[in-house]
Amino acid sequence: MRSKCAYSRPDWARFEPGVEIPEATTAAGAFLLKLSPEAATAALASILGSIPLGVAAAKKWKETRKLRNLIWEREHAMTELQEKYGRVRMLEESLQHSMESLTSLADKIDAISGIWHLLFMQKLSITRGVYRNLVDTLEEYVRETAVLDGEKDHPDVFGLCNVDSDVE
């Protein structure tokens, strides 16, 4: 059914897609100039006035893009530093634990060393006493044999008369 209205829709398919934007704007400008010269002047002034604004907007858009990239890079670097700091904290805690373990081990070694020193010195003093008794016995034996042989002042044959002064 046809509409009774005299106006019909345009057939968009008949327009060629090769029409360029500059040609269309020139045609629109000529139409506006013919219709109203004052409106054309105002439109041209508006267009020319918007060029610096467009340039400034483009610069701001580029700056915004650069800043967003910079923010992303800094956030990435901050994440890496936080991970690194976490590893450093873990290593510091491990080092502190190791130092405490080494201090505890050194205390135990000092205690064992003290025990061994006491035991060794006690064994050394017992051994020294045994050798002192042996020296005294040998000297007595030498004196007795010297008396029997007729010698009263027998010299120190073994060189052991002053054993206690050497070991202290």
Residue 106 token pair:
């050194």
pLDDT at 59: 92
Residue 157 token pair:
């044959």
Tell me whether residue 8 is in a domain: no
Residues of the domain holding 61:
19-166
The number of domains in the chain is 1
Region 132-161 average pLDDT? 73
Residue 115 token pair:
């025990």
Region 119-131 average pLDDT? 83
Q: How confident is the model at residue 18 (pLDDT cuts 50, 70, 90)?
A: low
Tell me whether residue 3 is in a domain: no
**One-letter amino acid of 33:** L
Q: For 18-27, 48-57, 88-97, which range has the lowest pLDDT when averaged over its residues?
A: 18-27
pLDDT at 28: 78
Tell me whether residue 11 is in a domain: no
Region 97-106 average pLDDT? 89
Tell me whether residue 125 is in a domain: yes
Per-residue H/E/C for 32-44: HHHHCHHHHHHHH
* pLDDT tens, position by position, 60-98: 999 999 999 999 999 999 888 888 888 888 888 888 898
Tell me whether residue 116 is in a domain: yes
Region 15-26 average pLDDT? 66
The Cα–Cα gap between 42 and 31 comes to: 14
Residue 163 token pair:
């054993």
Tell me whether residue 84 is in a domain: yes
DSSP letter, residue 13:
G
Tell me whether residue 74 is in a domain: yes
Q: In whole angstroms, how far apart are CA 166 and each of 23, 72, 161?
A: 123, 81, 11
Tell me whether residue 14 is in a domain: no
